[in-house]
Amino acid sequence: EEELPRFAIVGRPNAGKSSLVNSLMDEQRNIVTDIAGTTRDSIYSRYNKFGFDFYLVDTAGIRKKNKVNEDIEYYSVLRSIRAIENSDVCILLIDATRGIEAQDVNIFSIIQKNRKGLVVLVNKWDVAQNKTQQSIDHFEATIRERFAPFTDFPIIFGSALTKQRIHKVLQTAIDVYNNRRIVIPTSQLNNVMQAAIQAYPPPAVKGKYVKIKYVTMLKGAHVPTFIFFCNLPQWIRDPYKRYLENKIRENWNLHGTIINLFFREK
């Protein structure tokens, strides 16, 4: 039996994680209070929505190390990190009333390091002061700027409390989960990527030309992983790696998915 996908709901303490689970489950499964850190444990809730079976993981809020005084708090943070590690897609809650803070970026870094799928929910939008399209665009641009160079992920403005766009969050998490499972035939991949490489070849280094011969997807990987075979893999620099990644994203839907690119000698 295939394991069910696990969606971790993560964010700073008090960003509304338990409220989100309760809105989805329509029941008080987690204690919701305004005291940061009331969700001591990660709670797995099995859920069926849109004909799709999965687990939701509610996590203790991740907070800055210096504020972690009690052991209990320390273990909650560890549990949140573990929940990220054990999830397929993370729904990262950002508090609309506070904007994006350093701690949100730290949590994103943990998600990125673990190569998880990402959906951002700007929560408490019902009580945000300024809801113009301009402020939405600005908020969105700020988030992408802070999470760069990874910018290809969905951002949803909603409210766990009023259930505004909550089901969209879930549907999007399911889409991201499916994007992570993409299988691209090698011939199709090479047709597209060889054209991109010919249009803009890797820069020569010390008079030597870097030749990328072919690319393939690693089978059975948990994260979409692309292996480029070339003569001088050590000479391929980050800007060129970003160029290749952008070309992959332009041609296949990897929205919300952090991918791996590896370069091997051939």
Sequence-ordered alpha helix ranges (H) in the chain: 17-25, 71-85, 102-113, 133-147, 166-180, 186-199, 238-251
Which residues in 133-172 are b (16+ Cβ under 10 Å) and which e? eeebeebeeebbeebeebebbbbbbbbbbebbbbeebbbb
Q: Identify the weakest region by mean pLDDT among 14-23, 107-116, 179-188, 197-206.
A: 14-23
> Can you name the residues that pair with 170 across neighbouring β-strands?
none
Q: Identify the weakest region by mean pLDDT among 77-81, 132-136, 140-144.
A: 77-81
Q: Is 83 left (phi over 0), alpha (psi -120 to 50) or beta?
A: alpha
Mean pLDDT along residues 40-49: 67
Let me know: does 20 contact 45? Beta carbons within 8 Å. no
What's 60's DSSP letter?
Answer: P
Q: How confident is the model at residue 31 (pLDDT cuts 50, 70, 90)?
A: very low
Provide the pLDDT for residue 20.
84
Dump pLDDT digits (tens) for 51-79. 778 887 765 544 455 555 555 556 666 76
Q: How confident is the model at residue 43 (pLDDT cuts 50, 70, 90)?
A: low
Mean pLDDT, the chain, integer:
86
Residue 48 has pLDDT above 90, yes or no: no
> Can you name the residues that pair with 10 across neighbouring β-strands?
92
Residue 105 has pLDDT above 90, yes or no: yes
Q: In angstroms, what CA-CA distances link 237 with 209, 212, 223, 263, 265?
A: 13, 13, 22, 11, 15
Q: Express as a percent the part of the chain with pLDDT over 70.
A: 83
Can you give the pTM of this predicted structure? 0.85
Residue 198 has pLDDT above 90, yes or no: yes
Dump pLDDT digits (tens) for 155-172. 999 999 898 998 899 899
| Cα gap 4→24, rounded to integer Å | 17
Closest CA to 264 of 236, 223, 230: 230
Residue 99 has pLDDT above 70, yes or no: yes
Let me know: does 44 contact 122? Beta carbons within 8 Å. no
